[in-house]
Structure 1
Amino acid sequence: MDNSQRKLGTPKLGKWELFAYGQLVVPMAVIGLPLAIYIPPFYSGTLGLDLGAVGVILMLARLSDVFVDPFIGRWSDRTHTRWGRRRPWVIVGVIIMMISAIMLFVPQGQVTNLYLLVWICAIYLGYTLIEIPYGAWGAEISDDYHERNRITGSRQIFLLIGLLIAITVPIVASQAGSGATAASAASRQAMAALGWLTAGLLPICLVILLRSVREPVKGHSVPISFAAGVRVAMRNGPLRMILATVILGALASSINAGVAVLFFEHVAQMGSSSSVLIFALFAAGVVGSPFWVSIGGRIGKHKGIGVAGFASLAAFALVPFIIYWVKPNYPGAVFPAMLVITLIQGFSIGAAPILGQSILADVVDLDTIRSGEQRTAFLFAFLAMVRKFFEAAGVGIALPVLSWIGFDPQSHANSAGANFALTAMYCLVPLALWIVSTTIIWNYPITHERQARLRAALDRRTARRARVRAAD
């Protein structure tokens, strides 16, 4: 069947269409990972800005587009062009991201706090203009409970491939440029390679998406005001549960990712092996992603997330034991032990993004029934706004706290207290937050059966409105 004739309810997408949709996230991941783990050591360690100031700037940048997100989602839902609702926004986002990637990762002239603030705000804006319409586009391609897992699974596999590239390129570039070890993955050469690679991949991936994936025709809906829409959303019980998990998960992930490179270098003291661990994490994620697509269909999406989450957390809880007992007594066992933990975490890492995004598509069905308006991008944007706020809070808390305690990223003689604080920020604090988040999602109420009832109710209402319009 021709893609232009696709309608909701189509049983399955072809392999090429799944490929064409998912592959856009490759350049987004290539630049997204460095924003989380390389920008702090690059701008503080390599370029010499104050660590605490970098943390505050990253927090302000994350907040800069937080309150724009719902409006982008709302405008995208209500955009009507000959090219569709989602395409124009994605195109503009790609252009902004290409420019800001070069300016942020290939710094021009004198690098100041203001320079960092301006260009990291710009790249976050470009990311948002792509992420929200693109995510809504994927949620609307199919209304089937299981097919939505395949769509988000495709996106997650390409995301992990992009992350593998993001880990590999800095290592190769830093060695080729200066003969340095992989520990200098936040060097100028490494960051420049990521910037130029992103700028080159974005337009190629965009063309593949635009030529191969059609947007489904929007069904008739009754627009409601912004304030009324927020009230309806906040009365949505399943959405509130997702909101709680997003808050806790974003805070935990931001704190963990923001100090990961510092932890591996200063506490674990693993040198180039740390890059091997990060690579292993995402490689295992690629292997595990199809498994979680299958598990989500068998035991339910929320149970799949719970199983993956508890398995990953059980392994991650062993990190302090490795640092404070294995490392002093059996230093040669540190890397193998950390590798086992990393592989378990990596295999589980795809479950929440794959099944969580698919769950959100199901929540959109419930919201459409209650609000009367199909507003997929608005709900994606609303949750993105919340996620970004707490991601900003996480890095804005972790780095200044470390700086206040006395941790110095340019020193290899930090006190035991400073190193323990770094361990707590990397492992203990995120662990507690992730445990609560996983427990909440375990009790999520929308099952396959309930989602089928929601879709049937939506179909009946759509048919009634079609009959009324035909009679008029």
Structure 2
Amino acid sequence: MIATRDAWRYGLMGLPLAFVALPLYVQLPAHYATEFGVPLATLGTLLLVTRCADALIDPWIGRWTDRLHRSSPGRLLGTVALAALALASGFALLFLPPVRGDALVAWAAMALMLTYLAYSAIGIAHQSWGARLAGDEVQRARVVGWREGFGLLGVLLASVLPTFVGWGWTSAALAAALALAWFAWRSTPKPEDAPAVHSGVPFSQWLPFRHRAFRALLAVFLVNGIASAIPATLLIFFIRDRLQAPDSAQALFLGVYFLCAAASMPLWLAAVRRIGLVRSWRAGMMLAVAAFVGASTLGAGDTTAFALVCMASGFALGSDLALPGAILAGVVRDAGEQGRSEGLFFGWWNFATKLNLALAAGVALPLLALGGYTPGARDAAALSALTAAYCLLPCALKLCAALLLHLSLGRTGDSP
């Protein structure tokens, strides 16, 4: 069993990775729309194209990561250090662009691709390293819990720093966090001695899809991920226009949301001990549905009620963060690929994550524009379209994900 001191040192990299993710996937659309006047349809197309391109690269990064795991974990960590430098640079270039006007979209595309590539390289290496350290269900959830717990702390920092210190100091804080996390990761146990149980299946880039449990889990993850990515993309618009709350309230709502997610981690781990990974994750999905149904009834000035929605949905988020990755680690083990192909599995897993985000931005933003919504809209039809996209569509998708989880994995217990 991995010691607590090693678990937190491993998990610390989750902080800067999540620190990057919140601005990229939540704050960026509103930042470019309001600060630089980029149209929503243009933003949706930009994010769809760059996120799809980024997603297609991830399985190849996973295969490359597996090779580095087998040849030299030291080389892997050296490559991660270079990726961390690229990530800090790309983030600063994206949120502090030196150009305006017609060149801005092209600049944003370049900065996004640099940031996405570096983020993927670090994230897949980190996830696959953790999968090689994990053991039974509880141990897998514990390793992922440390990683995602630090991730929630990173999200909390990212939700308040831009408001209070600006994007320049936020970029500097990211660079410092990446450096500290890399040094901590370097001191954790090397997983090169993890038992490698070969399945006898010839290796290929598509190897994970030969395992039924992976296909089933990935389908659930895709549907559930789109359900989570849509409100993340539209959150700031909902706060500003549906609730008509001041900009200062954004940090409060995000803080409540992610604090509750962090506080829920020990409770979800306790639930895993009692009812298993799959049933715990399904319970989290149903809690999210209840929260967003409540959000659909809110209007201007309902900030206290929305804070309660953020608490409930934040609690549900804890299950989405801690449990699917632990289930995947078990799938890798049961498939006989532990110590051999974790990077490839997590490469495809990250592909699905990026596809979720790409579809959320590429579909939700243009649809809102077609429905007559623009940032700052106050007419009833536009706000109804925003509410339907932010609240009701995610509920329908979450219910579909819960049903898929029950049909594909729930009937055979919690070990796929």
Q: TM over 0.5, yes or no?
A: yes
C-alpha contact (below 8 Å) 1:62/1:392 kept by paired residues: yes
- CA deviation vs aligned residue, 1:355-399 (integer Å, no higher than 9, x gap): 111100000012226xx9821110111121122123201101111
Among candidates 32, 38, 44, match of residue 27 of structure 2: 38
Q: Which digits, 9 at most, give the CA deviation of each residue in 1:75-125, with x for residues without a partner?
A: 211224444574244223212202111111221233511001000111000
1:68 CA displacement: 1.4
For residues 20-59 of structure 1, the aligned pairs below 5 Å read 20-59=9-48
Deviations 1:244-300 (CA, angstroms, capped at 9, x unpaired): 112112222222111110111011112233331211010111111111111112210
Change (3 A) 1:81 1:233: closer
Aligned counterpart, 1:132: 124
2:155 equivalent in structure 1: 163
Give a deviation string over 1:196-252, Cα, whole Å, max 9, x none.
22122211211111123422425456686554x52x533422212211112112222
Residue 120, structure 1, aligned to residue 112, structure 2 = yes
How far apart are the structure 1 equivalents of 2:95 and 2:298? 34
* Amino acid corresponding to residue 141 of structure 1 in structure 2: L
Pair 167,321 (structure 1): closer, same or farther in 2 beyond 3 Å: same
Q: Partner letter of residue 268 of structure 2?
A: W
1:69, 1:385 within 8 Å by CA — same for their partners in 2?
yes
- Whether 2:341 is the aligned partner of 1:375: answer yes
| Equivalence map 1:265-344=2 (5 Å) | 265-271=240-246, 272-323=248-299, 331=301, 334-344=302-312
How has the CA–CA distance of structure 1 residues 353 and 84 changed in structure 2, closer, same or farther, with 3 Å as cutoff?
A: same
Identify if the C-alpha distance between structure 1 residues 193 and 225 changes in structure 2 by more than 3 Å, giving closer, same or farther: farther
Code of the aligned partner of 1:41: A
State the alpha-carbon separation in 2 of the partners of residues 361 and 216 from structure 1. 16
Q: Tell me if structure 1 keeps the 8 A contact 2:377–2:383.
A: no
Q: What does residue 94 of structure 1 align with?
A: 84
Q: Structure 2 length normalisation: TM-score?
A: 0.92
Aligned to 1:255, what secondary structure does the other structure show? Answer: helix
Check the 8 A contact 1:97/1:123 in 2, yes or no.
Answer: yes
Select the residue among 363, 366, 381 that pairs with 1:417: 381
User: Is the 8 Å Cα contact of residues 254 and 391 (structure 1) preserved in structure 2?
Assistant: yes
Greater CA drift, 86-95 or 136-145: 86-95
Higher mean C-alpha deviation, range 257-266 or range 346-355 = 346-355
Measure, in 1, the Cα distance between the counterparts of 2:38 and 2:306.
Answer: 31
What are the ranges of 5 or more consecutive residues in structure 1 without an aligned counterpart?
1-11, 174-189, 452-472
Shift of 1:171: 2.2
Q: 2:359 aligned with 1:393, yes or no?
A: yes
**1:340 Cα deviation (Å)?**
1.7
Q: Match for 2:119: what amino acid?
A: Y
Deviation at 1:307, TM superposition (A): 1.4
Helix, strand or coil at the partner of 1:269: coil
In 1, the alpha carbon distance for the partners of 2:172 and 2:36 equals: 19
Counterpart selection for 2:143 from 146, 151, 162: 151
User: Which one has more relative contact order, counting CA pairs under 8 Å at least 6 apart?
Assistant: 2
Q: 1:413 to 1:399 in 2, by over 3 A?
A: closer
> Kindly tell me: are residues 413 and 373 of structure 1, through their superposed partners in 2, closer, same or farther at Cα, counting changes over 3 Å?
closer
CA contact (8 A) 1:106 1:191 kept: yes
Which amino acid is 1:22 matched to? G
Counterpart check, 1:237 vs 2:229? no
Contact preservation (8 Å) 1:58, 1:392:
yes
State the identity %: 25
The one-letter amino acid paired with 1:244 is A
Query: 1:406 and 1:320, CA in 2 relative to 1: closer, same or farther beyond 3 A?
Result: same
Deviation of the 1:437 alpha carbon: 0.9
1:206 corresponds to 2:195? no
Given residue 122 of structure 1, which amino acid in structure 2 is its aligned partner? L
CA contact (8 A) 1:319 1:338 kept: yes
1-side partners of 2:124 and 2:57: how far apart?
Answer: 11
- Residue equivalent to 1:347: 315
In structure 1, C-alpha distance between the alignment counterparts of 2:265 and 2:125, rounded to whole Å: 23
CA distance, structure 2, for counterparts of residue 248 and residue 89 of structure 1: 33
SS at match of 2:369: helix
**CA, structure 1 residues 270+56, in 2 after alignment: closer, same or farther (shift >3 Å)?**
same
Give how far 1:352 is off: 2.0
Instruction: For residue 415 of structure 1, report the CA deviation from its aligned partner.
Output: 2.7
Structure 2 residue 69 is matched with structure 1 residue 77: no
| 1:28-47 C-alpha deviation (Å, 9 max, x unpaired) | 11111011111111112102
Matches of 1:37 and 1:320, distance apart in 2: 20
What CA distance in whole angstroms lies between the structure 2 residues aligned with 1:100 and 1:64?
Answer: 16
Deviates more, 1:254-263 or 1:108-117: 108-117
Q: Distance in 2 between matches of 1:342 and 1:221?
A: 43
CA gap 1:440/1:233 in 2 versus in 1, 3 angstroms: same
1:199 and 1:254 map into 2 onto residues whose CA distance is 26
Larger Rg: 1
CA 143–116 in structure 1, closer or farther in 2 if over 3 Å, else same: same
1:141 aligns with 2:128: no
Alignment pair present for 1:357 and 2:325: yes
* Separation (CA, whole Å) in 2 of partners of 1:116 and 1:225: 41
- 1:260 matched to 2:260? The reply is no
Shift of 1:335: 2.0
SS in 1 for 2:335: helix
Q: Describe the SS at the equivalent of 1:317.
A: helix
Asked whether the 8 Å contact 1:86–1:137 carries over to 2, the reply is: no
Cα distance in structure 2, aligned partners of 1:67 and 1:154? 28
Q: Confirm or deny: 8 A CA contact 2:243 2:298 kept in the other structure.
A: no
Structure 1 letter corresponding to 2:282: G
